[in-house]
Structures are given as C-alpha cells and as structure tokens.
Amino acid sequence: MTLEHFPGIARLQFDPTPAVRSIAQCRPRFHHYNPSEIVAGRSMQDQLRFAACYWHTMRNGLGDPFGAATAQTPWDDGSASIENAKRRADAFFEFLTKCQIGRWCFHDRDLAPEGQTIAQSERNLDQLVAHVAQLQSATGHRLLWGTANLFSHPRYLHGAATSPSVDVFLQATAQVRKALEVTQALGGEGYVFWGGREGYDTLLNTDLARERAQMARFLHIASDHAQSIGFTGVLLIEPKPHEPTTHQYDSDSEATLNFLREFGLFGRFKLNIETNHATLAGHSMQHELAVASAAGSLGSIDANMGTSGLGWDTDRFPTDVMLTTEIMLAVLNMGGLKQGGLNFDAKRRRASFEPVDLFHAHAAGMDAFALGLKAAARIRADGRLHEFVRARYESWDAPLGQSIRAGQLTLAQCAHEATKVAVVAPASARQELLESIVNDIVFTSDR
Ligand code: XLS
Ligand code: NI
Ligand code: NI
C-alpha cells in the first residue's frame, strides 16, 4: 500500500460541526458516527460492525441496462491480470482505512480472475488471498464473510446447485470448497450462500421438487465440509425472492427457515438479511429481522435500501434514519450483532461516479446507522414501547394463561373456561399513539 489511490482524501473524522454552506466544499466526514463513543454499553464501532463489499465498491462500474459504466477507477487498467487485481485490492484497503470501515466481504471472482480450468482459477485466487492477507495484517481490517459467485458465469445459467446438469453442480462444489477454505484462511467470521440462480424462470421446464432437494444436498455437504476443516465462522443464507430468477427458493426469512427445517439443516445456518431483498419480497425489513430473530437465526445484515415503487434490487446506500432505527432496534433487542455485521451491499447511483462519492456514500450510510443506533437506544431506554407490549400480553402470564401455554389444557377444558368469562373486553392497540411516540424519540435529540 505505497501508492495513494485516493489522493486528496484524508481519513474521515468525526466532526459534528454544521456542514459548510457550499456542497462543492464538503469533504467526506462523519457528522454522527463517532467510532469510540459509547452507545447502549458498547462503542459505536462494536455495535455497528460495518463492512464494505468488494463487488460494488471495486467491481461495479455503475453501468445499467441502458448505459455504459461511468465509475472513475484510475487504479484499474481494465485487464484481467493478477497485477491489476492486486492493485485493486490495494485501493480497496486504502479506502477501508480512510473510511474507518473495519470489515469487508467478497466473492471469489471479485477478487481474482477466473482461469480456464478449476486449477488455474484456484491458483489465481491463492495469489490474491496471499496479497489481501498481507493487507489485512498491515491495516488490521478483518474479513466479515466470503462467498462464491455461483451466478455470473454462463455455466450457471440454469442454476448452480439446482442445475438440471450434475456437471454444473460439481463445478459449484469445487468453487464453494475453495471459497470456504480461503475464507477460513483469511479469518472470515462468516460465509454466505446467496443462491442468485437457485430458482426458476418458468415451471414449464422445471422439476421444483428435485431442485429444492438438490439445493438441500448442496448445503448439507458444504456445511459438512466447513465443519471438517474446522471453520468456526457462521454459515449464512441470504434470502431473496427473485432477480435474476423469476422465483428463488430461499425467497424470504420464513420460506428459508422452513426449507432448513424440511431438510434437516436448521441450526447449521443463520440468515443474512438484506433490506432491499425484504422489500422485493413484499415485506418490511423489520418483518424479516423479526422472523429471523424469533427463530434465533438472525446472523448478519446486508445494509442497503431499495427505491419504493421500483421492482429492482437498486442497492442504494441506507440513508433513511427510520429504517436504520428499526434495524438497530431489532439488533439491540437480540443482544447485538455477535459474529455478524452491517455490510454495505450498496452501490452509488450511476451519476455519482467520482471516487470521492464512494466516501460520501459510505459516510452517509454510517451516519444514518449512527443516528439509528442512538435512536434505538433511546427507544429502549425510554421503555414505553416495551412496557406497552408486556402489558398487552399480561393475561398470558396469569396462572390460566401459563397453563395453556404449557400445554396443560385440552380444547374442551379451554372451552369450559371460556364460559366463566363474563365480559370479553379487548383493549386498544394504540398504533397511532405508538407511532407518534417513536417520532418524538427519533427526532427530538440525536445525541
Ligand atoms: C444480490 C446479493 C449478493 C449477495 C452476495 O442481490 O445481495 O450481492 O449479498 O452474493
Ligand atoms: Ni447481499
Ligand atoms: Ni442484493
């Protein structure tokens, strides 16, 4: 890391003074994210465990279906050479350091070019892994999770584990075996399975039962392998309903948890919940987190957001403070992120193409999460919501309610008890009042 790939950009600092009047003079900095500040008993950096992703940050030229790439990447000569790949990694670690982002995530193919054979691809990856291992020890940045790209290469056009061809399944096993091993070698705290093409485009050509069973077999042997090599990271599945496929088998938290239970995989995997995938599934992020958390299966978060009304995974940076508040409330309620993190699986808009926009974008997301963390901590400290929910279910904690919960009463006994209740008097759920209390707490004070 001798070269300065981001000249003129200093390490971002916490600086809460009001922004300068002219946007042209704005230098990237944190207005709210103060890494060492204690919130809810831990430093912000430990609560938030930010990660940047290699794919959007380094490999996304920001092209769209209607236009060419726009991102300025002076460190990248566009070649598939190992030298270029190493220079890109240097730029990425400089970016992490300057942006004060402690962790990162990658796909095997983001980091190193694919070769003509499996052996060649593995040699390429090994060279880059050795290089980033040095960068990690020089900078102190850690790998949150690794993954294998089982969706870009044309061989995966029908799916990887769910391909109708066993040869493709085999290719996917080779890639995952290697990706798991390099993730372990880099000290990864997790490993993600995102089945981009593990679904169907039309049922006219698809044996859904077979494909789901194949996917389960794949996850069984992959998790067996992780165990056999002594991988101590958490294995994560990242649900998404569709895009690129019409329907993906791990479509949301509930479907994925059901899939894991059906095939004897529950407990081996946790979920990596991505905001924009939740909205694509027609759910709120809050819902997806609540479902995963209730099953003890909330592992990590891909922190981004969608664009309402657009049915795409637009992967915007998460700048909505109500959203980050809801996310951090779910995280604090489950006792913190543990081995997980907040991975910015997010990309700049195509028109934000300058290198400095990478810093503005991540700082915007980090500030929004700092605000969300503080607001969530205030909601918990305030206690009114928690108390309201507790009181709402109070009857279940009285002796009769407890016996029913413990399975001590039959339906007939319950029906007999019903006759003893003179008046059934439901209480108001006070939704609008609660929403107003949340607004008061979120917007009254941010520090
Ligand atoms: C795509 C997914 C992908 C995973 C990693 O929509 O979010 O980026 O996070 O394969
Ligand atoms: Ni993701
Ligand atoms: Ni996504």
Ligand nearest to the CA of 105: 1
- Judge if 374 and 398 occupy the same domain: no
Could you tell me the two tokens for 403?
């016996």
Ligand nearest to the CA of 55: 1
Q: What CA–CA distance (Å, rounded) separates 348 from 351?
A: 8
Query: If we measure between CA atoms, which residue out of 136, 165, 161, 139 comes closest to residue 150?
Result: 161
Query: If we measure between CA atoms, which residue out of 292, 295, 313 comes closest to residue 304?
Result: 313
pLDDT of residue 20: 72
Our mutation pick for probing the ligand 1 site, out of 152, 302, 305, 314, counting the most ligand atoms within 8 A of Cβ, is: 302
Beta carbons of 104 and 83 less than 8 angstroms apart: no
pLDDT of residue 26: 87
**HSE, side-chain direction, 13 A CA sphere, residue 311:** 7
Q: Is residue 117 part of a domain?
A: yes
Could you tell me the two tokens for 253?
């938290």
Instruction: Pick the residue whose CA is nearest to atom 4 on ligand 1.
Output: 194
Ligand nearest to the CA of 302: 2
DSSP 6: S
What is the CA(173)–ligand 1 centre distance, in A? 19
Our mutation pick for probing the ligand 1 site, out of 105, 274, 314, counting the most ligand atoms within 8 A of Cβ, is: 274
- Judge if 83 and 116 occupy the same domain: yes
Q: Is residue 347 part of a domain?
A: yes
What is the CA(39)–ligand 1 centre distance, in A? 30
- Judge if 114 and 236 occupy the same domain: yes
Instruction: Pick the residue whose CA is nearest to atom 5 on ligand 1.
Output: 194
Its domain, for residue 412, covers 385-442
Q: Is residue 48 part of a domain?
A: yes
Instruction: Pick the residue whose CA is nearest to atom 8 on ligand 1.
Output: 345
Our mutation pick for probing the ligand 1 site, out of 106, 176, 238, counting the most ligand atoms within 8 A of Cβ, is: 238
Candidate list 5, 31, 56, 110, residue with the active-site label: 110
Q: Is residue 251 part of a domain?
A: yes
- Judge if 361 and 408 occupy the same domain: no
- Judge if 435 and 304 occupy the same domain: no
Query: If we measure between CA atoms, which residue out of 324, 317, 323, 306 comes closest to residue 360?
Result: 317
Last residue of a domain, one of 350, 365, 381: 381
For ion ligand 3, residues whose CB falls within 5 Å? 274, 313
Atom of ligand 1 nearest to the CA of 149: 10
DSSP 192: E
- Judge if 328 and 396 occupy the same domain: no
pLDDT of residue 444: 87
- Judge if 277 and 406 occupy the same domain: no
Instruction: Pick the residue whose CA is nearest to atom 3 on ligand 1.
Output: 194
Active-site residue flag, 367:
no
Ranges of beta strands (E only) in 110-263 are 142-147, 190-193, 199-200, 234-237, 247-248
| CA–CA distances in Å: residue 56 to residues 53, 131, 259, 333 | 6, 20, 29, 30
- Judge if 354 and 437 occupy the same domain: no
Q: What's 356's domain CATH number?
A: 3.20.20.150
Candidate list 5, 32, 56, 107, residue with the active-site label: 107
Q: Is residue 315 part of a domain?
A: yes
Atom of ligand 1 nearest to the CA of 196: 1
Domain count, the chain: 2
Using alpha carbons only, give the angle 316, 318, 320 rounded to the nearest 5 degrees: 120
Q: Is residue 3 part of a domain?
A: no
What is the CA(354)–ligand 3 centre distance, in A? 23
- Judge if 182 and 51 occupy the same domain: yes
Q: What CA–CA distance (Å, rounded) separates 206 from 242?
A: 16
Instruction: Pick the residue whose CA is nearest to atom 6 on ligand 1.
Output: 313
What is the CA(312)–ligand 3 centre distance, in A? 9
Our mutation pick for probing the ligand 1 site, out of 59, 193, 194, 312, counting the most ligand atoms within 8 A of Cβ, is: 194
pLDDT of residue 207: 98
Could you tell me the two tokens for 300?
């990590």
pLDDT tens digits for the chain (447 residues)? 557 999 999 999 999 988 777 888 889 999 999 999 999 999 999 999 999 999 999 999 999 999 999 999 999 999 999 999 999 999 999 999 999 999 999 999 999 999 999 999 999 999 999 999 999 999 999 999 999 999 999 999 999 999 999 999 999 999 999 999 999 999 999 999 999 999 999 999 999 999 999 999 999 999 999 999 999 999 999 999 999 999 999 999 999 999 999 999 999 999 999 999 999 999 999 999 999 999 999 999 999 999 988 888 999 999 999 999 999 999 999 999 999 999 999 999 999 999 999 999 999 999 999 999 999 999 999 999 999 999 999 999 999 999 999 999 999 999 999 999 999 999 999 999 999 999 999 998 754
Q: Is residue 248 part of a domain?
A: yes
What is the CA(74)–ligand 1 centre distance, in A? 25
What is the CA(303)–ligand 2 centre distance, in A? 8
What is the CA(416)–ligand 1 centre distance, in A? 53
Q: What CA–CA distance (Å, rounded) separates 321 from 375?
A: 9
Cβ-based neighbour number of residue 254 at 10 Å? 16
Q: What CA–CA distance (Å, rounded) separates 37 from 26?
A: 24
pLDDT of residue 68: 98
Instruction: Pick the residue whose CA is nearest to atom 10 on ligand 1.
Output: 194
Pocket of ligand 1 (CB under 6 A): 107, 147, 192, 194, 238, 240, 274, 302, 313, 345
Active-site residue flag, 201:
no
- Judge if 414 and 273 occupy the same domain: no
What is the CA(316)–ligand 3 centre distance, in A? 10
pLDDT of residue 445: 72
- Judge if 430 and 392 occupy the same domain: yes
Instruction: Pick the residue whose CA is nearest to atom 2 on ligand 1.
Output: 194
Q: Is residue 17 part of a domain?
A: no
- Judge if 364 and 389 occupy the same domain: no
